[in-house]
Amino acid sequence: MFRVSTLSRLRSRFAVLAVGALVGAASLVTPGAYAGPVPVEESEGARREPEPAAPVDSRDRARTPVRPSTVEATGGLGNLYYELQLLQDEVRRLHGIVEEQNHRIERLTREHRERYIELDQRILELGQGRPVSDTPVNDGDPAGPVVPEVPAGPVEMTEREAYNAAISLVVQARPLPPEERRPVYQRAHGMFQDLIKEYPNGEFAANAFYWIGEIQLALEEPELARQAFVQVVLLYGEHPKVPDALYKLGEVYGVLGDMERAREYLERVIREHPTSTAAGLANAYLSELP
């Protein structure tokens, strides 16, 4: 029994020693087991060694895209400035064209108004039985035209007499200086209005509306002129003055800057009244429009 127990104790101690040896071996092996990855730590250290230079690389990389973007930004601003200069030049060019067209339209307006005034003056002379002069109506006394005396108070006149008196004022006002012309035109305007009130369906009512429009154009009131010419077209559709009123509506819309409506009326004159004097003037005016 003693031997068995002793043997058992020896075996136990041996087992303990064996276990201890194994544990010790394991403890010895453990550093060895991690000794292998040490180069990994060294490689990590090796990768960390150039880290002081890394900021230089990062700065270089940061600076690399900046240069093209800066150049592009500078080039973009330069292009925008150049395009702005081109646009400004184009605006100046168009402004010059508009001014030139406005001058041409004003010149045509004056010329056409003078033609119609002269035409009505010739008609007036024929109606009064006087010979028609071949010289322009505005070739008068060098000292200046004399405005006919028109009674201020109400006077019994026939429709023709009232019309002749009003148109005479228009003819005489044309060559006057601007400061003297306006009151004469205003007197003629009032006389035409009185004629329309007195003879709304008379022989000269359409002519009176037409000349009210001409007076408003001379006074630089194109919208009021437009309203007068429209009355001729709407109220007296079969009257011989309608082609002239249509032409004048085209002219007025040109003055107002509505070139589309101007073309509509000018083309309407040519289409509906191709043999009229107004159609020839409309063709000439159309060629002047931008």
Give the C-alpha separation, 198 to 191, whole Å: 10
Q: Which of 19-28, 110-119, 188-197, 219-228 has the lowest mean pLDDT?
A: 19-28
Whether 282 is in a domain gets the answer yes
Whether 72 is in a domain gets the answer no
* pLDDT of 261: 96
Of 27-41, 91-105, 140-154, the range with the highest mean pLDDT is 91-105
* pLDDT of 111: 64
- The number of domains in the chain is 1
Closest to 118 measured CA to CA, from 254, 20, 214: 214
Whether 173 is in a domain gets the answer yes
Selected residue with higher pLDDT from 47 and 185: 185
* pLDDT of 181: 93
* pLDDT of 187: 96
Give the C-alpha separation, 248 to 226, whole Å: 8
Q: Which two three-digit tokens encode residue 226? A: 């437009």
Per-residue pLDDT at 30 exceeds 80? no
Q: Give me the sign of the Cα torsion angle 151, 152, 158, 164.
A: positive
Per-residue pLDDT at 254 exceeds 70? yes
Selected residue with higher pLDDT from 132 and 67: 67
User: How confident is the model over 268-281, as a mean pLDDT?
Assistant: 95
Per-residue pLDDT at 36 exceeds 50? no
Whether 91 is in a domain gets the answer no
* pLDDT of 252: 96
Give the C-alpha separation, 21 to 34, whole Å: 20
pLDDT category of residue 70 using cuts at 50, 70 and 90: low
Whether 17 is in a domain gets the answer no
Selected residue with higher pLDDT from 114 and 27: 114
pLDDT category of residue 146 using cuts at 50, 70 and 90: very low
pLDDT category of residue 28 using cuts at 50, 70 and 90: very low
Whether 245 is in a domain gets the answer yes
Per-residue pLDDT at 72 exceeds 50? yes
Residue 148 phi, psi (nearest 5): -65, 145
Sorted by sequence, the CB contacts under 8 Å of residue 248 that are 6+ apart come out as: 210, 213, 214, 217, 225, 229
CATH number at residue 214: 1.25.40.10
Whether 227 is in a domain gets the answer yes
Q: In sequence order, what DSSP letters do the residues of 72-129 get, joined into one string?
A: HHHHHHHHHHHHHHHHHHHHHHHHHHHHHHHHHHHHHHHHHHHHHHHHHHHHHHHHTT
Q: 3-state class of 135 per DSSP?
A: coil
Give the C-alpha separation, 115 to 109, whole Å: 10
Q: Are the C-beta atoms of 211 and 232 separated by less than 8 Å? A: no
* pLDDT of 271: 97
User: How confident is the model over 83-99, as a mean pLDDT?
Assistant: 71
Residue 129 phi, psi (nearest 5): 80, 15
pLDDT category of residue 86 using cuts at 50, 70 and 90: confident
Per-residue pLDDT at 163 exceeds 50? yes
Q: Domain range spanning residue 219? A: 103-133+148-288
* pLDDT of 80: 74
Q: Are the C-beta atoms of 255 and 109 separated by less than 8 Å? A: yes
Please provide the average confidence, as pLDDT, over all residues in the chain: 72
Share of the chain above pLDDT 90, in %: 42
User: How confident is the model over 218-239, as a mean pLDDT?
Assistant: 95
Whether 200 is in a domain gets the answer yes
Q: What is the pTM of this model?
A: 0.53
Give the C-alpha separation, 120 to 167, whole Å: 8
* 49 burial type by CB count under 10 A (0-12 exposed, 13-18 middle, 19+ buried): exposed
